[in-house]
Amino acid sequence: MIAIIDYDAGNIKSVEKALQKLGQDVVITREKEQILAADKVILPGVGAFGDAMKNLNEYGLVEVIHQVVEKRIPFLGICLGLQLLFEKSDESEGVKGLGILKGEVCRIPDQEGFKIPHMGWNSLHLQNDGRLFRGIEEDAYVYFVHSYYLKAKEEQIVKATTEYGAHIHASVGMDNVFACQFHPEKSSDVGLRILKNFVELS
Protein backbone atom coordinates (compact mmCIF):
# COMPACT_ATOMS: atom_id res chain seq x y z
CA MET A 1 0.00 0.00 0.00
CA ILE A 2 1.23 3.47 -0.91
CA ALA A 3 0.34 6.44 1.31
CA ILE A 4 0.06 9.88 -0.30
CA ILE A 5 0.39 12.55 2.39
CA ASP A 6 -2.52 15.01 2.35
CA TYR A 7 -1.54 18.41 3.74
CA ASP A 8 -3.78 20.65 1.58
CA ALA A 9 -1.07 21.32 -1.00
CA GLY A 10 -2.84 20.11 -4.12
CA ASN A 11 -1.73 17.83 -6.94
CA ILE A 12 -2.80 14.66 -5.13
CA LYS A 13 -5.41 13.22 -7.50
CA SER A 14 -3.11 13.03 -10.54
CA VAL A 15 -0.48 11.20 -8.46
CA GLU A 16 -3.14 8.79 -7.16
CA LYS A 17 -4.40 8.14 -10.72
CA ALA A 18 -0.91 7.42 -12.06
CA LEU A 19 -0.23 4.93 -9.25
CA GLN A 20 -3.59 3.22 -9.78
CA LYS A 21 -2.69 2.90 -13.46
CA LEU A 22 0.35 0.93 -12.25
CA GLY A 23 -1.99 -1.35 -10.29
CA GLN A 24 -1.15 0.02 -6.84
CA ASP A 25 -3.35 0.29 -3.76
CA VAL A 26 -3.26 3.94 -2.72
CA VAL A 27 -4.50 5.79 0.35
CA ILE A 28 -4.62 9.60 0.66
CA THR A 29 -4.15 10.35 4.33
CA ARG A 30 -2.70 12.49 7.08
CA GLU A 31 -3.18 9.77 9.73
CA LYS A 32 0.13 8.94 11.40
CA GLU A 33 -0.63 5.20 11.81
CA GLN A 34 -1.65 4.80 8.15
CA ILE A 35 1.46 6.61 6.91
CA LEU A 36 3.84 4.59 9.10
CA ALA A 37 2.15 1.31 8.10
CA ALA A 38 2.54 2.01 4.36
CA ASP A 39 5.04 0.20 2.10
CA LYS A 40 5.89 3.48 0.38
CA VAL A 41 5.11 7.14 1.13
CA ILE A 42 4.75 10.06 -1.30
CA LEU A 43 4.77 13.78 -0.49
CA PRO A 44 3.39 15.63 -3.53
CA GLY A 45 2.67 19.35 -3.58
CA VAL A 46 2.27 22.60 -5.43
CA GLY A 47 2.16 26.02 -3.81
CA ALA A 48 4.29 28.11 -1.46
CA PHE A 49 7.06 26.68 0.72
CA GLY A 50 6.05 28.63 3.84
CA ASP A 51 2.36 27.68 3.63
CA ALA A 52 3.28 24.03 3.10
CA MET A 53 5.59 23.91 6.13
CA LYS A 54 2.87 25.61 8.22
CA ASN A 55 0.37 22.91 7.18
CA LEU A 56 2.82 20.07 7.82
CA ASN A 57 3.48 21.47 11.30
CA GLU A 58 -0.20 22.04 12.07
CA TYR A 59 -1.14 18.50 11.06
CA GLY A 60 1.74 17.01 13.06
CA LEU A 61 3.26 15.60 9.89
CA VAL A 62 6.83 16.89 10.27
CA GLU A 63 7.60 14.33 12.96
CA VAL A 64 5.79 11.60 10.97
CA ILE A 65 7.89 12.28 7.86
CA HIS A 66 11.08 12.09 9.93
CA GLN A 67 9.86 8.75 11.34
CA VAL A 68 9.19 7.43 7.82
CA VAL A 69 12.77 8.28 6.88
CA GLU A 70 14.17 6.72 10.07
CA LYS A 71 12.14 3.53 9.48
CA ARG A 72 13.69 3.40 5.99
CA ILE A 73 10.31 3.31 4.26
CA PRO A 74 10.88 4.38 0.63
CA PHE A 75 9.82 8.04 0.42
CA LEU A 76 9.25 10.18 -2.69
CA GLY A 77 8.88 13.98 -2.74
CA ILE A 78 7.38 15.53 -5.88
CA CYS A 79 7.78 19.21 -6.93
CA LEU A 80 7.16 21.21 -3.72
CA GLY A 81 7.61 17.87 -1.95
CA LEU A 82 11.25 17.86 -3.12
CA GLN A 83 11.85 21.43 -1.95
CA LEU A 84 10.42 20.78 1.52
CA LEU A 85 12.99 18.04 2.16
CA PHE A 86 15.75 20.65 2.23
CA GLU A 87 16.75 23.30 4.74
CA LYS A 88 15.30 26.55 3.40
CA SER A 89 13.83 28.37 0.40
CA ASP A 90 14.18 31.88 -1.01
CA GLU A 91 10.39 31.81 -1.36
CA SER A 92 9.81 31.97 2.41
CA GLU A 93 12.57 33.74 4.32
CA GLY A 94 13.11 32.46 7.85
CA VAL A 95 11.00 29.31 7.36
CA LYS A 96 12.85 26.08 8.08
CA GLY A 97 12.28 23.15 5.76
CA LEU A 98 12.27 19.52 6.89
CA GLY A 99 16.09 19.48 6.74
CA ILE A 100 16.23 15.79 5.83
CA LEU A 101 18.64 16.63 3.01
CA LYS A 102 21.20 19.43 2.87
CA GLY A 103 20.79 22.29 0.44
CA GLU A 104 18.67 25.31 -0.38
CA VAL A 105 15.93 26.27 -2.79
CA CYS A 106 16.61 29.38 -4.89
CA ARG A 107 14.47 31.49 -7.22
CA ILE A 108 15.09 30.92 -10.91
CA PRO A 109 16.90 34.12 -11.97
CA ASP A 110 15.13 36.55 -14.31
CA GLN A 111 16.64 36.22 -17.79
CA GLU A 112 15.54 37.21 -21.24
CA GLY A 113 13.84 34.33 -23.00
CA PHE A 114 13.07 32.41 -19.80
CA LYS A 115 9.52 32.71 -18.49
CA ILE A 116 8.91 32.24 -14.78
CA PRO A 117 7.32 30.06 -13.62
CA HIS A 118 9.09 27.46 -15.72
CA MET A 119 6.25 25.43 -17.21
CA GLY A 120 6.92 22.77 -19.77
CA TRP A 121 9.01 19.85 -20.94
CA ASN A 122 12.75 19.74 -20.31
CA SER A 123 15.31 17.03 -20.90
CA LEU A 124 17.19 15.38 -18.04
CA HIS A 125 20.89 14.75 -17.71
CA LEU A 126 21.27 11.61 -15.61
CA GLN A 127 24.14 11.08 -13.18
CA ASN A 128 25.21 9.12 -10.10
CA ASP A 129 23.23 6.01 -11.02
CA GLY A 130 19.78 7.04 -9.73
CA ARG A 131 17.54 4.11 -8.87
CA LEU A 132 14.44 5.99 -10.08
CA PHE A 133 15.97 6.23 -13.57
CA ARG A 134 16.55 2.55 -14.35
CA GLY A 135 15.57 2.01 -17.98
CA ILE A 136 15.28 5.76 -18.63
CA GLU A 137 17.37 7.15 -21.47
CA GLU A 138 19.69 10.14 -21.21
CA ASP A 139 17.90 13.37 -22.32
CA ALA A 140 14.44 11.94 -21.62
CA TYR A 141 11.83 14.70 -21.36
CA VAL A 142 9.75 15.34 -18.23
CA TYR A 143 7.24 18.02 -17.24
CA PHE A 144 8.11 20.90 -14.89
CA VAL A 145 6.03 23.63 -13.20
CA HIS A 146 8.09 25.74 -10.77
CA SER A 147 9.63 29.14 -10.01
CA TYR A 148 12.24 27.90 -7.53
CA TYR A 149 14.93 25.29 -7.95
CA LEU A 150 17.13 23.12 -5.80
CA LYS A 151 20.82 23.57 -5.11
CA ALA A 152 21.77 20.46 -3.17
CA LYS A 153 24.86 20.72 -1.01
CA GLU A 154 26.14 17.22 -1.81
CA GLU A 155 26.64 16.54 -5.51
CA GLN A 156 26.54 12.76 -5.03
CA ILE A 157 22.84 12.79 -4.05
CA VAL A 158 21.91 14.55 -7.34
CA LYS A 159 20.59 11.94 -9.80
CA ALA A 160 19.29 14.20 -12.59
CA THR A 161 19.78 17.80 -13.67
CA THR A 162 18.29 20.15 -16.23
CA GLU A 163 19.04 23.65 -17.49
CA TYR A 164 16.54 26.51 -17.37
CA GLY A 165 18.14 29.86 -16.68
CA ALA A 166 20.15 27.99 -14.04
CA HIS A 167 21.69 24.57 -13.42
CA ILE A 168 18.77 22.81 -11.74
CA HIS A 169 19.08 19.75 -9.54
CA ALA A 170 15.99 18.01 -10.90
CA SER A 171 16.08 14.79 -8.87
CA VAL A 172 17.86 13.52 -5.79
CA GLY A 173 18.21 10.22 -3.98
CA MET A 174 19.83 9.19 -0.72
CA ASP A 175 19.20 5.91 1.09
CA ASN A 176 15.38 5.54 1.16
CA VAL A 177 14.66 9.20 0.27
CA PHE A 178 13.94 10.17 -3.35
CA ALA A 179 12.59 13.36 -4.87
CA CYS A 180 11.82 14.95 -8.25
CA GLN A 181 11.34 18.64 -9.01
CA PHE A 182 9.39 17.65 -12.13
CA HIS A 183 6.01 15.90 -12.12
CA PRO A 184 6.42 12.20 -13.03
CA GLU A 185 2.62 11.81 -12.89
CA LYS A 186 2.35 14.35 -15.75
CA SER A 187 5.39 13.15 -17.69
CA SER A 188 3.77 10.53 -19.93
CA ASP A 189 5.46 7.10 -20.30
CA VAL A 190 8.80 8.32 -18.91
CA GLY A 191 7.09 9.54 -15.75
CA LEU A 192 5.15 6.29 -15.34
CA ARG A 193 8.42 4.36 -15.64
CA ILE A 194 9.97 6.54 -12.91
CA LEU A 195 6.97 5.91 -10.64
CA LYS A 196 7.14 2.18 -11.45
CA ASN A 197 10.82 2.17 -10.46
CA PHE A 198 9.85 3.79 -7.15
CA VAL A 199 7.01 1.31 -6.57
CA GLU A 200 9.38 -1.61 -7.20
CA LEU A 201 12.05 -0.46 -4.73
CA SER A 202 12.63 -2.97 -1.96
Per-residue HEC secondary structure of 66-108 comes to HHHHHCCCCEEEECHHHHHCCCEECCCCCCCCCCCCCEEEEEC
Residue 129: pLDDT over 80: yes
pLDDT classification of 10: cutoffs 50, 70, 90: confident
Q: Single out the catalytic residue among 93, 138, 183, 200.
A: 183
Mean pLDDT (the chain) is 96
Q: Please compute the mean of the pLDDT values over residues 62-74 and round it to a whole number.
A: 98
Percentage, residues of the chain above pLDDT 70: 100
The pLDDT of residue 66 is: 98
pLDDT band of 48, cuts 50, 70, 90: very high
Residue from 79, 91, 146, 180 carrying the catalytic annotation: 79
Catalytic residue among 16, 169, 185, 200: 185
- Active site (annotated) includes residue 79: yes
Give residue 172's pLDDT: 98
Q: Determine whether 183 is an active site residue.
A: yes
Query: Mean of the pLDDT values across residues 134-142?
Result: 98
**Mean pLDDT computed over 97-112:** 95
Rounded mean pLDDT, 158-171: 96
Q: Over the stretch 169-196, which tens digit does the pLDDT of each residue have?
A: 999 999 999 999 999 999 999 999 999 9
Is residue 9 a contact partner of residue 46, using CB atoms and an 8 Å limit? yes
Q: Tell me the whole-structure pTM to 2 decimals.
A: 0.97
